[in-house]
Structure 1
Amino acid sequence: MGGVFSEWNRFFYPVFLVLNSLCFGYNRCLQLRKSYPNLSP
Protein backbone atom coordinates (compact mmCIF):
# COMPACT_ATOMS: atom_id res chain seq x y z
CA MET A 1 0.00 0.00 0.00
CA GLY A 2 2.74 2.46 0.94
CA GLY A 3 4.75 1.77 -2.23
CA VAL A 4 1.69 2.17 -4.46
CA PHE A 5 0.73 5.39 -2.73
CA SER A 6 4.23 6.84 -3.10
CA GLU A 7 4.20 6.04 -6.83
CA TRP A 8 0.76 7.64 -7.21
CA ASN A 9 1.81 10.66 -5.16
CA ARG A 10 5.02 11.11 -7.19
CA PHE A 11 3.03 11.13 -10.43
CA PHE A 12 -0.01 13.17 -9.43
CA TYR A 13 1.48 15.78 -7.12
CA PRO A 14 3.26 17.72 -9.92
CA VAL A 15 0.10 17.49 -12.04
CA PHE A 16 -1.93 18.86 -9.15
CA LEU A 17 0.55 21.71 -8.67
CA VAL A 18 0.37 22.62 -12.37
CA LEU A 19 -3.44 22.53 -12.40
CA ASN A 20 -3.56 24.58 -9.21
CA SER A 21 -1.25 27.24 -10.63
CA LEU A 22 -3.26 27.34 -13.87
CA CYS A 23 -6.54 27.81 -11.99
CA PHE A 24 -4.96 30.51 -9.82
CA GLY A 25 -3.61 32.35 -12.85
CA TYR A 26 -6.97 32.09 -14.63
CA ASN A 27 -8.88 33.49 -11.65
CA ARG A 28 -6.31 36.25 -11.31
CA CYS A 29 -6.72 37.12 -15.00
CA LEU A 30 -10.50 37.26 -14.59
CA GLN A 31 -10.19 39.55 -11.57
CA LEU A 32 -7.80 41.84 -13.43
CA ARG A 33 -10.16 41.94 -16.41
CA LYS A 34 -13.05 42.89 -14.13
CA SER A 35 -10.99 45.56 -12.40
CA TYR A 36 -9.47 47.00 -15.59
CA PRO A 37 -11.79 46.29 -18.55
CA ASN A 38 -9.86 48.68 -20.80
CA LEU A 39 -6.77 46.42 -20.63
CA SER A 40 -8.55 43.44 -22.20
CA PRO A 41 -8.23 43.22 -26.00
Structure 2
Amino acid sequence: MIACYIIYSQSIDTFYVGITQESIESRVAKHKAGTYGTHFTS
Protein backbone atom coordinates (compact mmCIF):
# COMPACT_ATOMS: atom_id res chain seq x y z
CA MET A 1 0.00 0.00 0.00
CA ILE A 2 1.33 3.44 -0.87
CA ALA A 3 0.90 6.15 1.76
CA CYS A 4 1.44 9.89 1.71
CA TYR A 5 2.49 11.45 5.01
CA ILE A 6 3.09 14.85 6.56
CA ILE A 7 5.13 14.87 9.76
CA TYR A 8 5.80 17.97 11.84
CA SER A 9 9.02 18.41 13.84
CA GLN A 10 8.31 20.80 16.69
CA SER A 11 12.00 21.00 17.64
CA ILE A 12 13.00 22.58 14.30
CA ASP A 13 9.57 23.90 13.25
CA THR A 14 9.61 21.94 9.98
CA PHE A 15 7.18 19.73 8.08
CA TYR A 16 8.36 16.57 6.32
CA VAL A 17 6.22 15.43 3.39
CA GLY A 18 6.73 12.13 1.65
CA ILE A 19 5.38 8.91 0.22
CA THR A 20 6.24 5.35 1.14
CA GLN A 21 5.30 1.79 0.26
CA GLU A 22 6.12 0.58 3.76
CA SER A 23 4.10 1.21 6.91
CA ILE A 24 4.19 4.73 8.32
CA GLU A 25 5.52 3.32 11.61
CA SER A 26 8.42 1.62 9.81
CA ARG A 27 9.23 4.75 7.80
CA VAL A 28 9.23 6.97 10.91
CA ALA A 29 11.48 4.47 12.72
CA LYS A 30 13.96 4.56 9.81
CA HIS A 31 13.85 8.37 9.82
CA LYS A 32 14.60 8.49 13.55
CA ALA A 33 17.43 5.96 13.12
CA GLY A 34 19.05 8.13 10.45
CA THR A 35 18.76 5.42 7.79
CA TYR A 36 18.39 7.99 5.01
CA GLY A 37 20.83 10.56 6.39
CA THR A 38 20.11 14.13 5.38
CA HIS A 39 18.89 13.30 1.88
CA PHE A 40 15.56 14.63 0.79
CA THR A 41 13.67 15.64 -2.33
CA SER A 42 11.29 18.48 -2.86
More strand by share: 2
Q: TM-score, normalised by structure 1?
A: 0.30
Determine which structure has more spread, i.e. the larger CA radius of gyration: 1
More helix by share: 1
Report 1 or 2 for greater relative contact order, CA contacts < 8 Å, sequence distance ≥ 6: 2
Q: TM-score, normalised by structure 2?
A: 0.29
